[in-house]
Amino acid sequence: IVIPLLATILGGFKSTGELRVSPFGIPQSWEFEFYGEILSDVNFWRYLWNSFLISILTVFLTVLLGSMAAYAFAQVRFFGSEFLFSYMLLGLMFPFAAAIMPLFLTVRDLGLLDTPWGVVLPQVAFGLAFSIMFFRTFFSQMPEELFEAARVDGCGYIKFFFLFTLPLSTPILATIATFVFVQSWNNYLLPLIMLNDRDGYTWTLGAMDYRGEYTAEWNRTLAFVSATLAPAVVFFLAAQKYIVAGL
């Protein structure tokens, strides 16, 4: 895992000739112009902001809707609950790429093309099966005596969910949020289909601007990738303690 990441970071400090001769070695002469050019570019920060906005909205909606649905499956007994839960899990077996055409037509008919919601809502829909499965397993292990004690004090399902279930579910919330954030941050296919306006590009689409017009300048591309991977790595490291506890 470390070798390709290290090669990517160091590749942004190498000249084109040195990158071809020694792609995995330490740079003999450190070239800082590529990182400086990218960090001073307004487009870089716009791509970063677009990706951050889409990822945060995706995380918020996926965690909120997934936890609420999983709470109903875990704590509420109603007719057809097992069938509905199994139906939701079918999303884990459904390949995302197979739905590109109907997904594009639906987003177009809703007037959401070239907007962040055209990327956010499909990501939330395809991420719910994964989050509901994890949340339901976690919620079903919570002691029933806790809910019975709260119900005696007049606490209903909704109030119990927001006042007790969510505060006690910090590890699983952080685990799901991290997985969803990283997946959304690195998503390439969905923004490629839904976003045509360059001002709305995410960083995965914006990487094409740094390849060069006629030849591929891989040192500039690697510098761009290294700079854009930093937020996802920082987010992962910050939530690592909760991820381990959740798993």
Supply the pTM of this predicted model: 0.84
175-217 pLDDT, tens per residue? 899 889 988 998 999 999 999 888 889 988 888 777 655 567 7
Phi and psi for 207 in degrees, rounded to 5? -60, -25
Output 242 or 90, whichever has higher pLDDT: 90
For residue 220, what pLDDT is reported? 84
75-107 pLDDT, tens per residue? 777 888 888 888 888 878 877 788 889 999 999
For residue 247, what pLDDT is reported? 65
Q: CA torsion, points 225, 6, 231, 48, in degrees to nearest 10?
A: -10
Please report which confidence band the pLDDT of residue 228 belongs to, taking 50, 70 and 90 as the band edges: confident
CB 164 within 8 A of CB 143: no
CB 160 within 8 A of CB 178: no
> Whole-angstrom Cα distance, residue 220 to residue 212?
8
51-76 pLDDT, tens per residue? 999 999 999 999 999 999 998 888 77
Q: Evaluate if residue 246 carries a pLDDT over 80.
A: no
Q: Report the b/e string of 19-43 with b at 16+ CB within 10 A.
A: beeeeeeebeeebeebbeebeeeee
For residue 50, what pLDDT is reported? 94
